[in-house]
Amino acid sequence: MPRALAAALLVAAALAAAAGGATGRARWFHSPTGNIECELNVGRGLGTYADCQTFRPPQTATLRANGRTRTCAGSRCQIGNGPEGARTLPYGSSIRLAPFRCDSMRTGMRCVVASTGHGFTIAREGTRTF
C-alpha cells in the first residue's frame, strides 16, 4: 500500500473516531417558506431515513430505505428545529443522498426511495404515503 494512501486512511480513521465513530452523512434543508424542514440521514448511528416536518400544522413523515413510512399529525408529534445553516431547497429543485431523493414543489415536499418510488408528500394540507 502506498504511504500516501496509508496516511490518508489513518487520518480518516482518526477523524471518524473523534466524531464518535460516525462515518455517515446527513443533509438538512427546508422549503422556501420555511414551514417544511427535512433531514436526509445515511449511516450516522440513527439509521438511514428521510424525515420532514411542518410547523403549521404540526406533522411529520419519516421514510426508511426499505420504503416504509411513518407519519404523525397534531400536538403529539415531536417537532424540532434543524441546524441554523440548513439549505433552502428552491421550488422545482431536488436533493439526493444515497437511496433518497426529495423534490421541493409549490404544493409541498416529496421524498422517495429513488429505486422503488415509495415515499411521501408533506404539505400544509397533510401527508400522503405511496
pLDDT digits (tens, 9 = 90+) for 11-33: 333 333 334 344 579 999 999 99
Residues 6+ apart with CB under 8 A from 88: 29, 30, 31, 32
Which pLDDT does position 44 carry in this prediction?
81
Q: What is the pLDDT of residue 23?
A: 56
Place of cell 438538512: 28
Task: Say if CB 50 and CB 118 are below 8 A apart.
Answer: no
What integer is the mean pLDDT of 85-106?
A: 97
CA 73 from chain centre, in angstroms, equals: 19
pLDDT of residue 77: 92
- pLDDT (mean) for 102-106: 98
Q: What is the DSSP letter of 93?
A: -
Instruction: Give the span between the Cα atoms of 24 and 87, in whole angstroms.
Output: 19
pLDDT in tens, 32-71: 999 999 999 998 878 899 999 999 999 999 999 999 999 9
Return the minimum-mean-pLDDT range out of 18-32, 74-88, 96-110.
18-32
pTM: 0.80
Note the pLDDT of residue 15: 37
Tell me the mean pLDDT in the region 87-113. 98
